[in-house]
Each structure stands twice: as C-alpha cells, then as structure tokens.
Structure 1
Amino acid sequence: MPQITVDYSPELSRSFDRRGFALALHKAAGPVVGSEPAHFKTRFRPIDECVIGEDTGGAAMVHVRVGLLTGRTTEAKQQLGAVVLEQAGQSITPVPGLSVSVTVEVFDMDRETYQRTSV
C-alpha cells in the first residue's frame, strides 16, 4: 500500500543505489507503518533540471514522497520520515564537490479514492 516516489538530481545517477534504497526502505519501514514489505511500491524519477539555492553548482537533491492510507499517527509518520532519511543516507555514495540535500514528505492518501488491483 505505501506509494513512494523518489525524485533525484541527474548528478546522482551513478552514486545513488536506487534499488538498494527501495529494498532496504521497504524492509525497515514495514514495522513502522504496519505494512508488509511486499505491499510497498517505489518508483524513481530523474529530475531533468533543478535549481538549488543560488545555483552556484555543486548541489544535488533527492526528494522522497511517501503516501499512506489515512490512520497513521503523527509520531509514526515522523518515525517513517527518519527511516527514509537514514536509508537514503546509506544508499548515496558521496561525490567529491557535490552536496546532496535529502528531503522527505509523508502524506495521507484518501481511503475513499485509493484503489488497487493485480493482473
């Protein structure tokens, strides 16, 4: 059920272990949100262009957006955010001269409009 979208700067295409991040996140976040790792879905989108701060170069970003069905406490969402940041930090190999900003947003998906099927 958790729907995860990860946007990342193109400078990180070789230094961000996206698959490793997703698999580790699914496992670590499952107990926090009460969901089995098999129910997590993560997709990655490279950012065509981004401007960070005064755009003097040497900066990149990763933004993780996690959608959960309503009902999780604020504390659980904050704990999930911490897990996301920890896993991202472990999945990005430092690049000399490149500062990486990692952010996370956890939001409620409306139970009344979320639908799923398997084919």
Structure 2
Amino acid sequence: MPQITVDYSAQLKHGFDHDWPAFARDLHTTVVEIAAAKLPACKTRFRPTEDVFIGHDEEAEYALVHIHIALLPGRTEETKARLTEAVLELVRKHVRAVGDLTLHASAEVRDLDASYRKFESE
C-alpha cells in the first residue's frame, strides 16, 4: 500500500520528460506527504495502452493519462481530493503531449477493499 497505477497512451512513452523514475519519485513523495503513506510501501506500475478513443472525432489526436491510487481505508474525502489535485499537478509538471496531441489527464484515489493482503519475500 499504496498501490499506484499509471495508465497512459502509448504515444506518450517519451512524453514523461523522458524520466519515469523522477515522476514516480515525485508521485511517491506526494502520496507520503498528503496521505501519510510510508515511502517504502509506495508501489507504482506504468501501463501503456495502444488504443485510446475519446469522443467521436476520429480525426483528432488525443492522449490519455489516468492515475489510480489505492490506499488502505482511513483517509478523509478531503485528503483524497487534495491528493488527486496534487497528482494532476504532477502530471502537468512531468507530462508533455507531443505533436498535436490533446492530453486528457485524470486521477482517482480510492480505498483498497477489505480483502487486500500482501506479503514480501526475502
């Protein structure tokens, strides 16, 4: 915990200022500062997707970034909203839409289900 997933349009692969680790570090720091998570517990995976469709305009070129953050329950709705806004600011800072792409960015913070379990092997 937290479990973070960054889904993004494949054409943005080089749009994260060419520095995925810096984006992940800033993201983890933000989650720690706002949601009181533990830094060693922050886990982020980046998932490119080839097919993204937005609206009905097949001529327009769009790119998508959506960040899912799943936390153990206990944060207030205000804390989750602050975290969501801060994450979107990080996207503004780190992500550059290349060419004529219009970037659609979104974020969501939710509670992990009560069934969530984990282990670490040594």
TM-score by length of 1: 0.91
Matched pairs, number: 118
Name the CA distance, whole Å, in 1 between partners of 2:63 and 2:78.
Answer: 29
Name the CA distance, whole Å, in 2 between partners of 1:50 and 1:28.
Answer: 28
- Give % identity: 38
Cα displacement (A) at 1:19: 2.3
Of 78-87 and 17-26, the range deviating more from structure 2: 17-26
Q: Partner of 1:32 in structure 2?
A: 34
Alignment match of 2:99 (pick from 88, 96, 101): 96
Of 40-49 and 54-63, the range deviating more from structure 2: 54-63
Name the CA distance, whole Å, in 2 between partners of 1:96 and 1:13.
Answer: 13
Q: Which amino acid is the alignment partner of residue 65 of structure 1?
A: H
Cα displacement (A) at 1:90: 1.0
TM-score by length of 2: 0.89
Matches within 5 A, 1:4-83: 4-16=4-16, 17-54=19-56, 55-83=58-86
Q: Partner of 2:110 in structure 1?
A: 107
Structure 2: unaligned runs, 5 residues or longer = none
Q: Which runs of 4+ in 1 moved over 4 A?
A: none
Of 50-59 and 35-44, the range deviating more from structure 2: 50-59
For residues 7-42 of structure 1, the C-alpha deviation after alignment (integer angstroms, 9 at most, x for no partner) is 100110111243221111101221211112221100
For residues 46-86 of structure 1, the C-alpha deviation after alignment (integer angstroms, 9 at most, x for no partner) is 11211011232321000111101111100000001011101
Name the CA distance, whole Å, in 1 between partners of 2:103 and 2:110.
Answer: 23
Q: Which amino acid is the alignment partner of residue 42 of structure 1?
A: T
Name the CA distance, whole Å, in 1 between partners of 2:91 and 2:39.
Answer: 17
CA RMSD, 1 decimal:
1.3
